[in-house]
């Protein structure tokens, strides 16, 4: 039996698609647990309508909005089945995910999870990326190789991961103090200690929503979480000194790249405070004075010139479109799997 955890808040149309994508999974026994963060719209009515026709759909509504991360943790703490997966309300599963994952986990009972590919799709149903497709190999991974395979921006999104319930006892729960990157930290924590299986199988779709929290979160919800991730690895007595050094070097590289990339993206959206904070973190925490100087210079220019802001935004969006256009092979290979809203 699998539990699919779907935290939700005011996305009834997307939520219906997410739930249906689970109900369409074949050759798997599951229940869909929807945790509503007090949406106060048609969310409850829509879910109860689905539940009336399918007893596998279960609904719980909080009396107040407890926050997105707390809602994930709430669902995680109530798992009683042998397996579980997470699904954001604006994402959805692809056919064969659970069947494929269960078969692989049956062959490898010591593996703590199975991970497939997540297709990153924008609001126009264009596939922007499927990073896991770039993995040099697939199959069975043990630590420390499994951990290192998830660095360099290659960690599978947990939308396409099926976990064993044993992971709760062996690895624990998501750490709310890690904030934004808590899902990444959880997967890395697992990979540092236990084996897992990865296959280049399209398992789920992640919607690149320009208004989502991950796209608009402040610096305070992002970089402090990365710093806590570094601290947790450094302080973990179960990890060898050599592993810690290698892992931290890789994660610090990833953090520096992500800080700069997110700063550049925030500048295109006119989020100048985020860019300033990113520049400060690059300078103070990453010893990246050149990149910090570049971001600060761009912020100063855009602050004083609306024309420069428009030019930068246009150039950034043009570069994004060129990147997406260069990945038409993804659309050709997987476009038929995508669902309309």
Q: What number of helices (H) and strands (E) belong to the chain?
A: 14, 10
| Least confidently predicted of 218-222, 289-293, 308-312, 317-321 | 218-222
Nearest residue to 131 via CA among 220, 254, 24: 254
User: What value does the mean pLDDT take over residues 278-283?
Assistant: 96
**Comparing C-alpha atoms, which of 214, 227, 211, 226 is closest to residue 159?**
214
Residue 265, classified by CB atoms within 10 Å of its CB into exposed (0-12), middle (13-18) or buried (19+), is middle
Return the closest-CA partner of residue 33 out of 50, 16, 9, 56. 56
**Residue 320, pLDDT above cutoff 60:** yes
Closest CA to 184 of 125, 267, 100, 115: 115
> Which pLDDT band holds residue 294 (cuts at 50, 70, 90)?
very high
Whole-prediction pTM value?
Answer: 0.94
216 — pLDDT class (breaks 50, 70, 90)? low
Q: How many C-beta neighbours within 10 Å does residue 4 have?
A: 28
In the structure, what pLDDT confidence band is assigned to residue 228 with cuts at 50, 70 and 90? very high
Confidence of residue 217 (pLDDT cuts 50, 70, 90): confident
Residues in CB range of 222: below 8 A, 6 or more apart? 179, 180, 181, 262
Distance separating alpha carbons of residues 194 and 217, to the nearest angstrom: 31
The full set of domains in the chain, from first to last, is 2-210 (3.90.550.10), 217-304 (no CATH)
pLDDT of residue 212: 59
pLDDT per position as a tens digit, 17-58:
999 999 999 999 999 999 999 998 999 999 999 999 999 999
Tens of pLDDT, residue by residue over 159-204, are 999 999 999 999 999 999 999 899 999 999 999 999 999 999 999 9
The greatest distance separating any two alpha carbons of the chain, rounded to the nearest whole angstrom, comes to 61
SS3 64: coil
> What average pLDDT does the chain have?
94
Question: Which string of b and e fits 82-101 if b means at least 16 CB within 10 Å?
Answer: ebbbbbbbbbbbbebbbebb
Q: What is the pLDDT of residue 211?
A: 65
Residues above pLDDT 90, as percent of the chain: 91
The answer to whether 162 and 105 are in contact (CB under 8 A) is yes
- Number of Cα atoms under 13 Å in the Cβ half of residue 166: 10
Does residue 71 register a pLDDT over 70? yes
Angle at 76 between CA 70 and CA 78, to 5 degrees: 110
């Amino acid at each position: 039996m699998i539990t699919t955890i779907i935290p939700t808040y005011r996305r009834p149309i997307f939520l219906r698609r997410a739930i249906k994508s689970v109900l369409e999974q074949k050759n798997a026994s599951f229940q869909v647990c929807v945790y509503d963060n007090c949406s106060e719209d048609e969310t409850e009515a829509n879910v109860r309508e689905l539940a009336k026709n399918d007893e596998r759909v279960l609904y719980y509504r909080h009396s107040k909005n407890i926050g997105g991360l707390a809602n994930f943790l709430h669902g995680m703490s109530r798992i009683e089945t042998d397996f579980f997966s997470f699904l954001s309300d604006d994402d959805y599963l692809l056919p064969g995910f659970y069947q494929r994952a269960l078969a692989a986990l049956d062959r490898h009972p010591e593996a703590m999870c199975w991970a497939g590919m997540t297709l990153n799709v924008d609001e126009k149903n264009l596939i922007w990326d499927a990073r896991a497709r770039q993995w040099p190999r697939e199959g069975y991974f043990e630590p420390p190789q499994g951990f290192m395979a998830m660095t360099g921006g290659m960690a599978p999104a947990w939308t396409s991961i099926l976990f064993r319930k044993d992971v709760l006892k062996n690895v624990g729960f998501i750490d709310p103090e890690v904030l934004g990157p808590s899902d990444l930290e959880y997967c890395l924590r697992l990979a540092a200690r236990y084996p897992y299986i990865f296959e280049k199988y399209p398992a789920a779709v992640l919607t690149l929503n320009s208004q989502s929290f991950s796209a608009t979160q402040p610096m305070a919800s992002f970089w402090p979480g990365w710093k806590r991730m570094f601290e947790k690895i450094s302080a973990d007595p179960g990890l060898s000194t050599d592993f810690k050094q290698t892992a931290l070097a890789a994660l610090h590289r990833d953090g520096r790249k992500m800080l700069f990339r997110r700063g550049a993206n925030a500048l295109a959206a006119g989020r100048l405070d985020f860019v300033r904070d990113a520049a400060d973190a690059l300078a103070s925490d990453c010893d990246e004075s050149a990149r910090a100087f570049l971001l600060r210079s761009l912020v100063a220019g855009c602050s004083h010139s609306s024309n420069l802001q428009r030019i930068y935004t246009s150039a950034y969006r043009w570069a994004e479109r060129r990147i997406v256009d260069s990945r038409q092979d993804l659309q050709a290979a997987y476009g038929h799997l995508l669902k309309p809203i």
